[in-house]
Amino acid sequence: MENRIQNLKNQALAQIIDADIEELEGLRTNYLGRRGELNKILREIQDLPAKKRPIIGQIVNDAKKAIERAIDEKHGKLQEGTGKTKWFDPTVPGNKPQIGHLHLVTQAVEEISKTFEKIGFVRVRYPEVEWDWFAFESLNMPKDHPARDEWETFFVGTPPHSKYGQMVLTPHTSSGQIREMTRVKNPPIRMLNIAKTYRRQSDVAHIPMFHQFEGLVVDKEISVVHLKGTLDYFARSFFGPKRKIRLRPFHFQFTEPSFEFDISCDICQGRGCKLCKAGWLELGGAGMVHPQVLKNGGIDPKHYTGFAFGAGLERSFMMKSGLKIDDVRTLYSSDLRFLRQF
């Protein structure tokens, strides 16, 4: 008897899963109706020994409740329109799946790579977790040098390397310069290093994880003219034909002379406006590679010279014509309403 009830219940539950609204009502009468299957069993209980009656009665009632609940739930689902409906029309156009696209930072990485590849730069990548030597020491910033303060660095708490020092999260892509020189050994070098960089900072213009792109060219008779020409080319290709680059004298430990470079403001085209104040927006740092840095990379500064530049990728992207993004953090907010615009 118990088995019969169990089988009936299982059969009912299986039929409910596949039923549509009309079939559900049929099942309700079949199983739960006055003349339904379960009541039939209840009637047979009288023939059982007195001891067994309450037990079987209880099992039948539990089965009834389970079937009733399943029917009600399915009914609810069908009414929401999420269940199976009888009138499926295969000619109705389906819902189009939304097609995504690359994140705009990835798009910017690809665009910058292509722009520099056209003039012979080769894209490389170096470790995101790097030794102090590559990030600072080899770039003329010995331990405790105050210049290091600019790079608000995350240090990794592993034991230091005997030659390369502590591990850090790369605070700038310049750490790729020495790695590239030691990899190539014999110039020419035309490196484009695009990578994630990390600094302890967060506000409208800064995020702890961002990207930089870094160029390094080492060859015979490389001069500031090559640097300026390269940056001008980049400004025109990436930002638009009317945009210009300006070099401003500055100081970095690893370049001599050193510059910061600015891009002419898109809004006022260099005349000066509310956004830029003096017509120019700061993009990055650059200069002629310091002879000691060349030496640290195993290159003879008597025969070779080089230039280098580095800039924030997100910041550069935000300065493209017409974008008007005023908070770098929105790029990483994962807000689809924002991301879908690009």
Summarize as ranges the residues that interact with ligand DAH (CB under 6 A): 172, 174, 214, 252, 255, 284-287, 308-310
Determine the Cα–Cα distance for residues 268 and 34; give it in Å rounded to an integer: 85
Taking every pair of Cα atoms in the chain, the longest distance, rounded to a whole number of angstroms, is: 112
Closest-approach residue to ligand DAH (CB):
285
Least Å from the CB of residue 333 to ligand DAH: 24
Residues 102, 342: contact at Cβ < 8 Å?
A: no
Residues 319, 266: contact at Cβ < 8 Å?
A: yes
Least Å from the CB of residue 214 to ligand DAH: 5
Indicate the residue among 64 and 172 with the shorter CB distance to ligand DAH. 172
Residue 288 to residues 133, 291, 294: CA-CA distances in angstroms? 20, 9, 10
Indicate the residue among 252 and 317 with the shorter CB distance to ligand DAH. 252
Q: What's the gap between Cα 230 and its chain centre?
A: 29
Residues 6 or more apart whose Cβ sits within 8 Å of residue 42: 57, 60
Burial of 42 (C-beta count, 10 Å sphere; 0-12/13-18/19+): middle
**Token pair 């290159």 in the structure block, residue:** 299
Mapped onto helix, strand or coil, the DSSP state of residue 155 is strand
Indicate the residue among 53 and 228 with the shorter CB distance to ligand DAH. 228
Indicate the residue among 13 and 286 with the shorter CB distance to ligand DAH. 286
Indicate the residue among 9 and 172 with the shorter CB distance to ligand DAH. 172
DSSP states of 167-194 as a string? EEE-SSTTHHHHHHHHHH-SS-EEEEEE
Indicate the residue among 234 and 309 with the shorter CB distance to ligand DAH. 309
The type of residue at 151 is W
Indicate the residue among 251 and 324 with the shorter CB distance to ligand DAH. 251
Burial of 39 (C-beta count, 10 Å sphere; 0-12/13-18/19+): middle
The type of residue at 135 is A
Least Å from the CB of residue 274 to ligand DAH: 26
Least Å from the CB of residue 147 to ligand DAH: 10
Least Å from the CB of residue 308 to ligand DAH: 3
